[in-house]
Structure 1
Amino acid sequence: MADYRTTDFHCDVLWKLLENPHLSFADDESNTLDVTLPRLRTARALLQTFAIYIPQRMEKTMVPILHSIDLFHRKILSEPGIRFIKQPQDIRITREKGELGALLSLEGADALQGDLALLRMLFELGVRAIGLTWNNANWGADGVMEPRGGGLTSKGRAFVEECNRLGILLDVSHLSEQSFWDMLDMTKRPLIASHSNAGAICRHPRNLSDDQIRALIAMDGLIGITFVPEFVIADGNAGVDDVLRHIDHICGLGGEKQLMFGSDFDGINTHVAGLTHPGEVYHLYESLLKRYSETQVNAFFSENTYRFLTTHLPH
């Protein structure tokens, strides 16, 4: 098999660690985690993005966010061969040295309550990508499951402006469609959809319409194909071939250079057959090589993400 590296722009390991701090990222004997250090090494991972997600039952304050960042430092960055990705040279060094890059994101900014000072503090703590809301509505925007389908609030617009100024990547994966277009209209930097698939292939509210996909392509954003079974195929009985249909569709719209992966490992209870953890992504790699060139497949797995981060992370 060809030599390759992998990148994954979304996993929920930090959420599981927040719920159960006794779990081990380095040696998960309980087999509770999808994403572990040994599996990432098996996958020859160049980058893993670790999302901070605060479950609905927890308080919407900075406290669980700070606890998650503490866990990120103690449980993940403390392991040898892992580099914190905050600026372009970090990912360059990571690739040169064959290390694993760890990028920190926030999935849902409810706890910030529109306070831009808190946003700036998260930037200082190393958060480099943020989804303004999760599936519901909050102070900044409506999410995809909010029935009214509203867009950005005035506080949400100020948030986008400050993220642009700081260089924090904005993630549209959980936004309502109106919030998506509002953000697209005002951002001065390319957007990412860290873990969303093609709505034309599987009609799920969390997937992107062709118009949204074309808009992300036009601004040279990134689209992370995700392994959430019900986002892959309607009945949730998904295999690798079903994931390929989303990749083919986005490439057919001209998105070959915007494709990446955002597994949502550890945020899902069921898995695509043959893609249950990072150590199995070679199944997808091998299947893609049957219909795309090695250069194209390597772009999907790492080069598109590498190019984007070396261009758009803050210097």
Structure 2
Amino acid sequence: MIGLFFALAPRMVEEGMNRVLPHEPVTLSAAAAALHADLIVGDLHADSLLWRRDLHKRSNRGHVDLPRLREGNVALQVFTAVTRTPAGQNYEANASDARDNITLLAMAQRWPPRTWDSLAERALHQAAKLRRFAAKKPESLRILRHGDDVPELLAARRDGAKTLGALLGIEGAHALDGKLANIQRLYEAGYRMIGLHHFFDNELGGSLHGTGGHGLTDFGRQVVERLDALSIIIDVAHSSPESVRDVLALTKRPVVVSHTGFRGVCDTPRNLDDELMQAIASRGGLIGVGYWAAAVCDVSAAGVVAAIRYGVDLVGADHVALGSDYDGATTVPFDTAELAVLTDTMLREGMDEVTIRKVMGGNVARFLAEHLPPAPR
């Protein structure tokens, strides 16, 4: 019975949480198919490392694996480590001391015992998983660590390589276990984007879904300063408005909102208000539009494109990107193999090619090339 639990429980949990809505096969116009094949496609957020799957194999569950990424012509994918989520998880308010969902999942998936009571070890374990995938087939997967890695990867893809550029991110800096020194450990493990919060207030300050709504603590300010010093990209996707304002006041570097929607088109507690989104963009930031209900309200290709169009009109085409939240306990209208449906929908709705190229991945490529740490000399 115990063996059956370990064999079946993780699969059953994922099948129930990472769903694709039933739909007819995607039919593309010839113009959309040709354009999509020529795009740089990039996505700022997927939680695929949380689940027990070999990303080199095409799966019939979840949203992302390397075969489907190749089918979707994805060049750049941020893989984000989830280390803790609260029981009763919701977008309105979660207690910081709520029972953690990930502990039982880690045990069921046979993660090492050191991960059972350390969030930092959970992040390090997920980074090691991605490194093993890259070592197994380096022609298929390259982990991006420095700004120069991005143009090198894209040049290789122009010459016919099918290599995916993968960036490691963290969803919530509670993964530091309250220790500033763990930033260096995570950096050395390959992490280059760190979200300050997830679904609850933590040692750094207030979450968008916490109970206090407060800004950064002294520890949070120290973390922001250390991330800046290492050129680690800061993600404020789940940070409270006050925390976001504090970050913008502290850092001169642009930040990202890796997976979100816009309040003006989808007024839910998951989305920051439009004025704050404009402030993020005015500092050179990048905003990734998600595909699930709380982000875009209308869970369809047309709904996602409506959110993208709204964002382009609000903050400018240079500041909008894709931020799927694939494999993040979301129900979506298409998986990563079907991303060309966005290109097709944008073309059908009259969006110009320059804007499509930027939103679908050009902005992600530019941002990472400019703001990842420089390569050591």
Normalised-by-shorter TM-score class: over 0.9
Structure 2 distance, partners of 1:280, 1:181, is 36
CA contact (8 A) 1:52 1:107 kept: yes
Shift, 1:137, TM fit? 0.6
| Counterpart code for 1:63 | E
Residue 308 of structure 2 is aligned with which of 236, 239, 247? Answer: 247
Task: Give the equivalent residue in structure 2 for 1:288.
Answer: 346
Residue 33 of structure 1 is aligned with which of 50, 62, 71? Answer: 62
Task: Give the equivalent residue in structure 2 for 1:128.
Answer: 192
| Counterpart code for 2:81 | I
Structure 2 distance, partners of 1:209, 1:60, is 34
Shift, 1:269, TM fit? 3.9
Task: Give the equivalent residue in structure 2 for 1:172.
Answer: 236
CA contact (8 A) 1:77 1:84 kept: no
Shift, 1:9, TM fit? 0.8
Residue 84 of structure 1 is aligned with which of 120, 137, 143? Answer: 143
Match of 1:193, SS state, is strand
Shift, 1:114, TM fit? 3.5
Q: Closer, same or farther in 2 for the Cα pair 1:164/1:269, shift >3 Å?
A: closer
Q: Closer, same or farther in 2 for the Cα pair 1:143/1:43, shift >3 Å?
A: same
Match of 1:133, SS state, is coil
| Counterpart code for 1:308 | F
Shift, 1:77, TM fit? 5.0
Structure 2 distance, partners of 1:229, 1:181, is 26
Q: Closer, same or farther in 2 for the Cα pair 1:279/1:28, shift >3 Å?
A: closer
| 1:53-202 to 2 correspondences below 5 Å | 53-55=82-84, 56-57=100-101, 58=103, 59-79=117-137, 80-98=139-157, 99-202=163-266
| Counterpart code for 1:271 | V
Task: Give the equivalent residue in structure 2 for 1:14.
Answer: 49
Structure 2 distance, partners of 1:164, 1:75, is 29
CA contact (8 A) 2:133 2:141 kept: no
| Counterpart code for 1:53 | V
CA RMSD of aligned residues (A): 1.4
Residue 326 of structure 2 is aligned with which of 265, 269, 273? Answer: 265
CA contact (8 A) 1:9 1:224 kept: yes
Listed as ranges, the gaps of 5+ residues in structure 1 are: none
Give the aligned length. 303
CA contact (8 A) 2:259 2:325 kept: yes
Structure 2 distance, partners of 1:36, 1:124, is 25
TM-score under structure 1 length normalisation: 0.92
Runs of 4+ in 1 over 4 A off after TM superposition: none
Shift, 1:60, TM fit? 4.1
Structure 1 distance, partners of 2:127, 2:268, is 31
Q: Which moved more, 1:97-106 or 1:237-246?
A: 237-246
Q: Is it true that 1:307 corresponds to 2:366 in the alignment? A: yes
| Counterpart code for 1:94 | L
CA contact (8 A) 2:57 2:65 kept: yes
Task: From the CA coordinates, give the structure whose radius of gyration is larger.
Answer: 2
| Counterpart code for 1:38 | P
Structure 1 distance, partners of 2:125, 2:207, is 25
Structure 2 distance, partners of 1:191, 1:5, is 21
Match of 2:79, SS state, is strand
CA contact (8 A) 1:161 1:187 kept: yes
